[in-house]
Amino acid sequence: MSIKAKILLDEEEIPKAWYNIQADMPALPEPPLNPMTKEPVKPEDFVPIFPMGIVRQEVSTERWIPIPEEVREVYRLWRPTPLYRAKRLEEKLKTPARIYYKWEGVSPPGSHKPNTAVAQAYYNMKEGIERLATETGAGQWGSALAFGCMVFGLKCTVYMVAASYDQKPYRRIMMETWNAEVYRSPSRNTQFGKNVLGDDPNTSGSLGIAISEAVEDAATHDDAHYSIGSVLNHVILHQTVVGLEAKQAFEQIGEYPDVIYGNVGGGSNFSGACFPFVGDKLTGKRPDLKVVACEPMACPSLTKGLYLYDYGDCAGMAPILKMYTLGHTFIPPPIHAGGLRYHGDAPLLCKLVKDGWMEAVAYHQTDVFRAAKLFAEAEGHIIAPESAHEVKAVIDEALNCKEEGREEVIFFNNSGHGHFDLGAYDAFLQGKLVDYEYPVELVKQALANLPKIP
């Protein structure tokens, strides 16, 4: 009998609870601070923009948080996702390592993002909220939230960075097909947007501006809340469904990863995939587990940033978070992995890196796309540039295993397909990709703008 290409769980095995790693961390991250008062954020500070169901999760230290049956019912549309054995990649690399990946590209929006979008839409619906507002860059998160809102009958308003809105219409159309209202940001739909347009009518926008518009929209409308796609605790919590499923699948075949790789933008993809395993490391069950965050050299928060309090957003309106940061005013070079262009990282993930439980590496995008191409040749799937960061690391590790004759088990979360990123593949194939060195001067300037904490 052949080795299975995919390990599939039954729908009944979709986890019934999310895993909260805070229950097992020997030391918790320092609390987020209110950007106005610089005091620790209180649960009630979140109330104007989040439902209580989400606020409770954001501050909870309970180990297991039940997944509502209505959310599991929607997860069934694409979950459990397959755990692939990348046997053809192993053969191509002639490695003794066994490579496994979770494939989140099968969700309707095409990534892991709906794992939290669906949950957030559910809790808002339960509390009578009629509409969610959010920002999106290239559109991965916006399309996930449009999908999540649609299945629970909520309206969805997405502020999409003008440059992407103009250049990448496909994700916008996807959102509109799922009934979202998509604004080119800055828009005339918010006071903040109007101000920005007043200063510069031809601006191409930024994620920071779009966040500010979405938060203003939510805060100024009683029927609306805000929704965020990464960084915060509740988002990471929802994403642990990925790692929990992977763990069950590994159990079925009697394997356990020796090393886990994942790409980090805000941190929810990687944390969601690895935290259920990292919990075993924290509790001494798997002391030798190696866990590696992969980030772009153009935006290397974990490898080159400072562990400090900084604003979560570019505008300085979001909570101040203790994290590895390049400075909230840092605008990374325009690499194709748009989802990794964030100046900081999730506080939970940063704390675990800081305390030595996990490590980090950074790569140039040409190397990353070379890895993605090799992966497509071996396994067929054309993956998102974000995911290609860990594929680069996985290939390097598999080749090390070959050199050293090590029979290691490697795991990574393949967080999404690259169907809307083929322009970037084209640039790579034509040799036109630009590698941006670590932008040391820009980071220096941005780090000079850190908030003053009393």
**Which residues, other chains included, contact 281 with Cβ-Cβ below 8 Å and sequence gap of 6+?**
287, 289, 291, 357
Indicate whether 16 belongs to the interface with a second copy (CB under 8 A). no
SS3 106: helix
The single residue among 19, 46, 178, 277 that binds a second copy, judged by CB under 8 A, is 178
Cβ proximity to a second copy: between 58 and 73 the closer is 73
Q: Per CB under 8 A, which region of 45-53, 283-291, 342-350, 422-430 contacts a second copy?
A: 422-430
Indicate whether 380 belongs to the interface with a second copy (CB under 8 A). yes
Q: Which of residues 81-110 bind a second copy (CB under 8 A)?
A: 88, 106-108, 110
The single residue among 177, 283, 445, 449 that binds a second copy, judged by CB under 8 A, is 177
Binding mask 52-81 for a second copy (x = CB under 8 A): ---------------------x--xxx---
Distance CA 384, CA 418 (A): 4
Indicate whether 331 belongs to the interface with a second copy (CB under 8 A). no
Indicate whether 245 belongs to the interface with a second copy (CB under 8 A). no
Indicate whether 273 belongs to the interface with a second copy (CB under 8 A). no
Kindly state the smallest distance separating residue 336's Cβ from a second copy, in Å: 13
Of 413, 396, 371, 383, give the one whose Cα is nearest residue 244: 413
Instruction: Give the chain's count of helices (H) and strands (E).
Output: 17, 15
> Got the DSSP string for 238-254?
HHHHHHHHHHHHHHHHT
Compute how many other C-beta atoms are within 10 angstroms of the C-beta atom of residue 173: 13
How many residues are there in the chain?
454
> Got the DSSP string for 344-367?
S--HHHHHHHHTTSSEEEEE-HHH
Indicate whether 188 belongs to the interface with a second copy (CB under 8 A). no
Q: Is the dihedral of CA 213, 216, 218, 220 positive or negative?
A: negative
Compute how many other C-beta atoms are within 10 angstroms of the C-beta atom of residue 366: 14
Indicate whether 374 belongs to the interface with a second copy (CB under 8 A). no
Of 318, 359, 365, give the one whose Cα is nearest residue 341: 365
Q: Per CB under 8 A, which region of 240-248, 391-399, 403-411, 421-429 contacts a second copy?
A: 421-429
SS3 413: strand
Indicate whether 166 belongs to the interface with a second copy (CB under 8 A). no
The single residue among 58, 176, 255, 396 that binds a second copy, judged by CB under 8 A, is 176
Indicate whether 169 belongs to the interface with a second copy (CB under 8 A). yes
Can you give the binding site for a second copy, defined by CB under 8 A? 1-2, 4-6, 8, 11-12, 73, 76-78, 88, 106-108, 110, 147, 150-151, 169-170, 173-174, 176-179, 373, 376-377, 379-382, 419-420, 422-423, 425-426, 429
